[in-house]
Structure 1
Amino acid sequence: MRLVYNTELPLMLRIERIADEAEDIKTLVFMHRLNSRPGQFIMLWLPRIDEKPFAVSYQDTDKFAITVKSVGEFSEAVHRLKPGDRVGIRGPYGKGFEFELYQHVLIVAGGYGAAPLSFLANQAMLQGKRVTFILGAKKASHLPYLNRLSQAHVKLITVTEDGSTGIRGLATEVLARILHNHDRTGSLSVYACGPEAMLKAVVDICRNLHVAAQLSLERYIKCGFGICGQCCVDELGIRICKEGPVVDLETAASITELGVYKRTPSGRRIAMGDKK
């Protein structure tokens, strides 16, 4: 009898280490060779609770990490885990960032959206790219990865809305100033992940200035590999788990719901920012 291995079954992994990154933000480290690209995600399964997608926030030859912000019942359960606990992992899934053709990697991250972008910054630095990392949040205590990014020797620009550290204002305002002063010599692309209002602003800025960009989008994902259609976006109908989560600038601009509304697990439209 021939046995068929189902690659979509979760692999039970032990949590090697947990690090506090910022207020309500923790990173879980696993000793496992994942072989993912920056921008891809895994499905994290907590037995008898639920399964949710999380971007890979770090990877080297023998371990990887995900970063989780406490925002609801599932993420609160993740934050209660301890080193040594086992969880289920599926993946990696999705389309990642393409950065090999560009010499200057210009990153704009909003708070917890820095997770996939910190992985991108590490990989770009290893390939000798010039990396500028704009890290924004409402206040200083919401900024993750400060030590890691400083040690990676990227050009780090911190931005807070309340002015508690770095530049006072919005990350997109800093992005616009940098791009307006960019001399257009050498290849540059913008990479963004964060709140959807920020991503919509990135799309508008980059289109107006004719600068290439890639954005990591978030939608409700159930299967992770393109079967259920739960994460399709209007009007294109692309699946964020399969044709995303990373999309190019023109694709992002063609998503009519971007920055306007999202869908609940039942498929009902709700305005962006609505907690219901």
Structure 2
Amino acid sequence: MERMFEITKIVKENYRTSTFFFKFKEMAEPGQFLMVWVPGSKEMPMSVSYSDGKEIGVTVAAVGEGSKALHAKKVGDYIGLRGPFGKPFTLKKGAKRIAMIGGGYGAAPLGLFAERNKGVEFHTFLGARKKEDLLFASRLKKVSEVHISTDDGSEGRKGRVTEIFAQELKKKKFDLVLTCGPEMMEKAVFDICQREKLEAQVSIERLMKCGVGICGSCLLDDYIVCLDGPVFETKELKGMKEFGVAHRDKAGILEKF
């Protein structure tokens, strides 16, 4: 059941993205999500970007009706939250060096994962269309070696983040690869991992209406993303036919990317 929470702090991350904080006693794991409701709008799944058992944060780009409604709110306003839900990223036993690849606002859970797992050597690859779209570079530099790429070359190296990751694999070996961002980027990362025989965990986004496996709107092959994911591992990803190929629209009709 939804509860109303007061916005306690808003941090502007870039020109269209902000992090909204709430007092929240339940600890969320990196990769889990909340169902967020702004009165007058439909619920939205939002990846958790901060969580310490006292407060929780979601990082949101103002790109749709619901997210723009959230951006219109200010400190002291109340919105509805349910969760946290879903399967998170997990640290595998023996993993000492981890690569994390984030595209755009897909970088949201990666900083939290690195902060929770001190003692692991992290290498983060952040990609964006332009410098202004980058997220959490400063935060990640505190816990990880950071490699930045932009499509236009305005920050870091020019090119796709997957290309930078592939180049780095020639120099270093990784025990685990995590990725979160646009699905075509994730698929490219996973294909590289398959070629190099690397274990991967991928956070996959699908249309979610309930968050608890009832409505079926987030089907991905035979998986219900809100329950079985949103984070999937290599053994699951290898058998997927729709990953990186197709998704379901609001009517549940499968359409290609």
TM class by smaller structure? over 0.9
Alpha-carbon distance in structure 2 between the residues aligned to 1:33 and 1:103 = 30
1:227-242 matched pairs, under 5 angstroms: 227-234=214-221, 237-242=222-227
Q: 1:132 aligns with which of 104, 123, 147?
A: 123
Q: Which amino acid aligns with 1:136?
A: G
1:212-261 per-residue CA deviation (whole Å, 9 max, x = no partner) reads 11000000011111122111112xx1110001000012322322112222
Q: CA RMSD in A?
A: 1.3
**Which residue in 2 is equivalent to 1:121?**
114
What is the percent sequence identity of the aligned residues? 39
Alpha-carbon distance in structure 1 between the residues aligned to 2:32 and 2:89 = 8
Q: Which amino acid aligns with 1:97?
A: F
Q: 1:166 aligns with which of 151, 156, 173?
A: 156
Q: Which amino acid aligns with 1:251?
A: E
Q: 1:57 aligns with which of 31, 35, 49?
A: 49
1:25, 1:67 within 8 Å by CA — same for their partners in 2?
yes
2:240 paired with 1:255: yes
**Which residue in 2 is equivalent to 1:188?**
175
Q: 2:140 aligns with which of 149, 154, 157?
A: 149
1:117-164 per-residue CA deviation (whole Å, 9 max, x = no partner) reads 121121123xx11111111101000001123223x2311111111100
Q: TM-score, normalised by structure 1?
A: 0.89
- Flag structure 2 segments of 5+ consecutive residues without an equivalent: none
2:6 paired with 1:24: no
SS of aligned partner of 2:9: strand
SS of aligned partner of 1:37: coil
1:77-96 matched pairs, under 5 angstroms: 77-96=69-88
Alpha-carbon distance in structure 1 between the residues aligned to 2:161 and 2:238 = 19
**Which residue in 1 is equivalent to 2:166?**
176
Alpha-carbon distance in structure 2 between the residues aligned to 1:34 and 1:28 = 16
1:39, 1:116 within 8 Å by CA — same for their partners in 2?
yes
Give the deviation of 1:40 after TM superposition: 0.5
**Which residue in 2 is equivalent to 1:104?**
97
Alpha-carbon distance in structure 2 between the residues aligned to 1:241 and 1:223 = 8
SS of aligned partner of 1:197: helix
- Flag structure 1 segments of 5+ consecutive residues without an equivalent: 1-8
1:189-231 per-residue CA deviation (whole Å, 9 max, x = no partner) reads 0000111110110111000000111000000011111122111
SS of aligned partner of 2:169: helix
**Which residue in 1 is equivalent to 2:210?**
223
Q: Which amino acid aligns with 1:248?
A: E
* Runs of 4+ more than 3 Å apart: none
**Which residue in 2 is equivalent to 1:67?**
59
SS of aligned partner of 1:242: helix
Give the deviation of 1:61 after TM superposition: 3.2
Q: 1:214 aligns with which of 192, 201, 218?
A: 201
1:124, 1:131 within 8 Å by CA — same for their partners in 2?
no
Alpha-carbon distance in structure 2 between the residues aligned to 1:162 and 1:137 = 9
1:39, 1:97 within 8 Å by CA — same for their partners in 2?
yes
Alpha-carbon distance in structure 2 between the residues aligned to 1:270 and 1:85 = 38
2:246, 2:254 within 8 Å by CA — same for their partners in 1?
yes
Q: TM-score, normalised by structure 2?
A: 0.95
SS of aligned partner of 1:228: coil
SS of aligned partner of 2:185: helix
